[in-house]
Amino acid sequence: MKKNILKKRKTKIISNLTNELPNPNKKESRMNKFIVAMYSTQILFEILAVILSISLISTSFKYLGSGLIIILSGIMFIAALVIGAAMLVSIPNKKNHVYKMNVTTFVFLAFAMICILSSLGMPLLGVIGYTTTFILIPLQIALVLFGHFHWSRRKGIPKFISLFIFITTIFWCTWYLITSLLVPVLLIYIKRPSLESSKQDVLFATRIVNQSLNKEFGRNDDWRKEWNDEPKKSKTHFKMDQRDVDIYEIAPIKDPIKQNDNLVLFAHGLNGTRYTAMRYMEMFYKYIKEPNTNRGYKMLSFDMRGFGSNRDLERTYALKEGDDLNNAFKAIIRDYKPKHLVIYGISNGAASTVSFATKWQKTIINSKTDVKLIEESGYTSARDELRAMTEQFGIPHQITMPQAFPLYRQITKTFWGSRSYIDDVNKVEQPLMIIHGGKDIIVPFDMGQRYLEKRNKGQYKDRTSSLFIEEAGHVKVGREFLKEFIDGVNKFLKKNK
């Protein structure tokens, strides 16, 4: 009996002592709730920063508005980092999965921030930084669900649901990483052919064009007996930034370029070089005739910035390229004095041609030269082109953020928006021919249609021609549909003689 009474008293004393002591489970629970709240706040700040950055793509802000957005975005990223650091310090148990998870995401976030801040010096770092942030946010959300409810064994969402979310997010992030980084790098950054590789590719293509022309027109010409396999360096040069850039001549061996000849100034596209013009030399010399003289055209070309001998100069996607064409144009007028000049641009060269013509109308008019313009597969604006390309290849849009891509860096230096080449196209007095393929996956077909629609609403619609071929791909009209190209250009020249 006494033993039972003593046992009851002992139990009561222990119970009272336990109630008076702080409950470690409650303290741990409060700490976990605090950590989850901090983690959620960090993710929220990251999402807000990304949304602010995306707004620079979707809208055209002026200097002040865009500057404020970038500042706010930076503040959000910094706040997310500070919260992440505070959370790491607050976690009591630094050996569990939750702590390791937070350390990992914090390191990635810090890495992304460093890349974004460094992107003005190296654009690819911006791509990597924004890609990391885009992948990090859904991964963090998935880790919160999985870590909070399963590693910590709390009640809430069923395990199979959060596990499904976690695994799906891992696969989604992996795919996002591949399409965000590898595809743009392969498409844009790596593929810059050397002059030698460009030469070999073009020589092979020139042989194919020669065979196709012989078959089409019932001839048996061997281009290698009539033409050099190397463009001839001329004495004419012009300034590209602070560099002297040479202009190259492409003409038959027995009929070199002379003053007053009919000339084509060729502007190649991305990944082209001065050799690219050789694909078209036979067509313009033998089959395309200037109607007033009934003589063909000889060609001039040069390496655009970012390619060939000028690979180290920064590409600006038809912004500075238009100025380069202006300098080349003035040098050609000064030294060759052509009576008839066609400026033929393809892809980025086409946009550069339109950019030149809209900006330097007085220069063209004052030259007192018969100038005609041909643009094939040209984009209407740099922003539209990047957006269209990312949509068609399934590439996420963070590569088009101003801090991430050189194209947008150049645009934001000028307008904090986009220079639309189509806006001023009706100011161009010279005859303009618009060529585009219906199966162009690089520069969508509707861009060519928009150029034509814009011109047809302007005062120079009678000086505008088009050649749209449904089966043609990117810059393929003048390479694969030779008869249609020759007939279309001849018709355009006769219409505007």
Let me know: does 248 contact 234? Beta carbons within 8 Å. yes
User: In angstroms, rounded to a whole number, what is the distance separating the alpha carbons of residues 252 and 236?
Assistant: 19
Helix (H/G/I), strand (E/B), else coil: 292: coil
Q: Name the band, by pLDDT with cuts 50, 70 and 90, for residue 370.
A: very high
Cα separation, 320 vs 409, whole angstroms: 13
The pTM assigned to this predicted structure is 0.69
Per the listing, tokens 């399409």 go with: 179
Q: How many percent of the chain have pLDDT more than 70?
A: 68
What band does 321 get if pLDDT is binned at 50, 70 and 90?
A: very high
d(CA 230, CA 252): 11
Give mean pLDDT, residues 73-99.
Answer: 76
Phi-psi sector, 158: left (phi>0), alpha (psi -120 to 50), beta: beta
Averaged pLDDT of the chain: 79
Binned at pLDDT 50, 70 and 90, residue 125 comes out as: low
SS3 content of the chain, % helix, strand, coil (to 5): 60, 10, 25
As given in the structure block, the two tokens for residue 26 are: 């409650």
Quick one: pLDDT band at residue 124, thresholds 50, 70, 90?
low
Is residue 2 pLDDT above 80, yes or no? no
**pLDDT attached to residue 267:** 98
Please, what's the b/e burial string for 382-401 (b: 16 or more CB within 10 A of its CB; e: otherwise)?
bbbbbbbbbeeeebbbbbbb
pLDDT over 70 at 448, yes or no: yes
**Mean pLDDT on 249-277:** 96
- DSSP letter string over 60-107? ---HHHHHHHHHHHHHHHHHHHHHHHHHHHH-S-TTSHHHHHHHHHHH
Q: Name 371's bridge partners.
A: 341
Q: pLDDT tens digits for 206-249?
A: 999 999 999 999 999 999 999 999 999 999 999 999 999 999 99
* CA atoms within a 13 Å half-sphere pointing along the CA-CB vector of 71: 6
- pLDDT of the residue at 22: 46
Three-state DSSP state, 53: helix
Domains of the chain, by residue range, sit at 20-191, 199-496
- Which residue did the predictor score with more confidence, 421 or 158? 421
pLDDT at 290 exceeding the cut of 90: yes
- Confidence check: pLDDT of 462 > 50: yes
Residue 145 has a pLDDT of: 66
> Is the pLDDT at 13 greater than 50, yes or no?
no
On the question of pLDDT at 17 being above 50, the answer is no
Architecture of domain 199-496: 3-Layer(aba) Sandwich (3.40)
Percentage of the chain modeled with pLDDT above 90: 46
The winner for highest mean pLDDT among 11-25, 335-349, 382-396 is 335-349
Amino acid identity of residue 463, one-letter, is R
Each residue's pLDDT tens digit, 393-427:
454 544 444 444 444 444 444 433 446 778 789 99
pLDDT at 363: 96
Q: Highest mean pLDDT range out of 179-188, 318-327, 328-337?
A: 328-337
**Strand-pair category, 232-240 with 263-267:** unpaired
* 3-state SS track over 294-314: CECCEEEECCCCCCHHHCCCC
Q: Rounded mean pLDDT of 444-463?
A: 94
pLDDT of 101 higher than 90: no
* Least confident segment among 17-26, 201-210, 321-330: 17-26
Mean pLDDT to the nearest integer, 52-72: 58
For residue 343, the Cα-to-chain-centroid distance in whole angstroms is 25
> What does the H/E/C string look like for 400-466?
HCCCCCHHHHHHHHHCCCCCECCCCHHHCCCCEEEEEECCCCCCCHHHHHHHHHHHHCCCCHHHEEE
Alpha carbons 492 and 457: distance in angstroms, whole number: 19
